[in-house]
Structure 1
Amino acid sequence: MTERTFRRGRRIGVDVGDARIGVASCDPDGMLATPVETVPAGPASQARLVAIAEEYAAVEVVVGLPRSLNGGEGPAAAKVRVYAGELAARLAPVPVRLVDERMSTVTATHGLRASGVKAKKGRSVIDQAAAVVILQSALDGEKAAGRPPGQRVEPAQPAAGDDPGRPNE
């Protein structure tokens, strides 16, 4: 019987949406993912995610990749792939990984409704809860498989004319 190893360190979970970005973190032993905050989507969102990763001394950032139920990828997944590539460039050398997030928002919504949170009041909380579901799933998957979850994101290359020393906001 082989012993599975778990890479120790805090991770940040991210649920990217058009309006809001849910953020979660875990303890250094990867036992439990917890909500951190909801970041408004937009030009300053990546700078805030970098600041959170630094604040938590993250060893990795896990971004949910929205797939259809049959596993395919649509326009939302393409947007998240671009966003994750840009985030990876800003966070390097901290790795960014994409993990399947199918049903994370549905799972989060059901859990919050069961605890009495109303949908309209809880939109930003739902984003955080979805990030928790994404991160907890990645942690559990790594512990079960003995290897990092999902796929590592290669940092995006700056577009021609962009100043690589200046963050894009």
Structure 2
Amino acid sequence: MAGDDFRRGVRLGVDVGLVRVGVAVCDPDGMLATPLRTLKRDAKKNHDLRLLADLAVEREAIQVYVGLPRSLGGGETASTRMARDYAQSLAERLRSAGSGATVWLVDERLTTVSAHRSLREAGLDGRKHRQVVDQVAAADILQHALNMQKSLKRDVGVAVECDSRPATDQT
């Protein structure tokens, strides 16, 4: 992406957790990210990765933003490594499915906290948060990436490569 051009196309946002994966989608003009669904995490059979890749292909997504959880100080954690591995697996699965979608890692510090706050303010019972909080966090991740992309007039985040080459940092 260069200059004032914003490449039209659907984008997905992903919030990866140990138990669930939240997914959000935006319109082709990148105006609004909306929660889409929550997938049950399946680290052994990778069923969630298959479903996510299918969603990207079905919606003809051009980019997928995976949230990169860092410590408040910006450091790496076990969750950071898990998100990197997940994004790498997703990029490879998308490529093997024939999708041209690129996968990007974007900082997601405090998105889940923010999502819980938004749900509370919307009046949703705390016990029901678990069902949708990951989707809302994914929408926050995607909306933040869209806003930055439009503001900076370039792709944002760290591109995930499908081979062993180092990733390119665009932030």
- What is the TM-score normalised by the length of structure 1? 0.88
Q: Equivalent residues in 2 for 1:5-154 (5 A)? A: 5-42=5-42, 43-92=46-95, 93-154=100-161
Question: 1:138: how far off?
Answer: 0.2
Hey, what's the Cα distance between the residues in 1 that align with 2:70 and 2:140?
15
Is the 8 Å Cα contact of residues 87 and 155 (structure 1) preserved in structure 2? no
The amino acid across from 1:114 in the alignment is E
SS at match of 2:60: coil
> Aligned letter for 2:63?
E
In 1, Cα distance between equivalents of 2:143 and 2:125: 23
Gaps of 5+ in 2: 165-171
Answer yes or no: is the 8 Å Cα contact 1:22–1:37 preserved in 2: yes
Q: How far, CA to CA, are the matches of 1:156 and 1:40 in structure 2?
A: 27
Report the secondary structure of 2:61's partner residue. Answer: coil
1: CA distance, partners of 2:150 / 2:27: 14
Name stretches of at least 5 consecutive residues in structure 1 with no aligned partner: 158-169
Q: Percent identity?
A: 49
Instruction: Give the Cα separation in 2 of the matches to 1:127 and 1:116.
Output: 17
How far 1:124 moved relative to its partner?
A: 2.3
Give the Cα separation in 1 of the matches to 2:5 and 2:131. Answer: 34
User: What TM-score, normalized by structure 2, do the two folds share?
Assistant: 0.87
Kindly state the Cα deviation for residue 156 of structure 1 after the two structures are TM-superposed: 5.3
Render the CA deviation track for 1:97-120: whole Å, top value 9, x for unaligned.
000000111111100100011222
Larger radius of gyration: 1
Judged with a 3 Å threshold, the aligned counterparts in structure 2 of structure 1 residues 131 and 105 are, in CA distance, closer, same or farther, namely same
Q: Residues 15-66 of structure 1, C-alpha deviation per residue, up to 9 Å, x if partnerless? A: 0000000000000000000011000000201000011101211001110000
Aligned match of 1:165: none
**Counterpart Cα distance in 1 of 2:93 and 2:57:** 11
Misfit runs of 4+, over 3 Å: none
Which residue pairs with 1:163 in the alignment?
none
Are the structure 2 counterparts of residues 45 and 156 from structure 1 closer, same or farther at C-alpha, using a change threshold of 3 Å?
farther
Aligned equivalents of 2:55, 2:125: Cα separation in 1: 27
Which letter does structure 1 place at the counterpart of 2:34? T
What is the alpha-carbon distance in structure 2 between the residues aligned to residue 52 and residue 39 of structure 1? 11
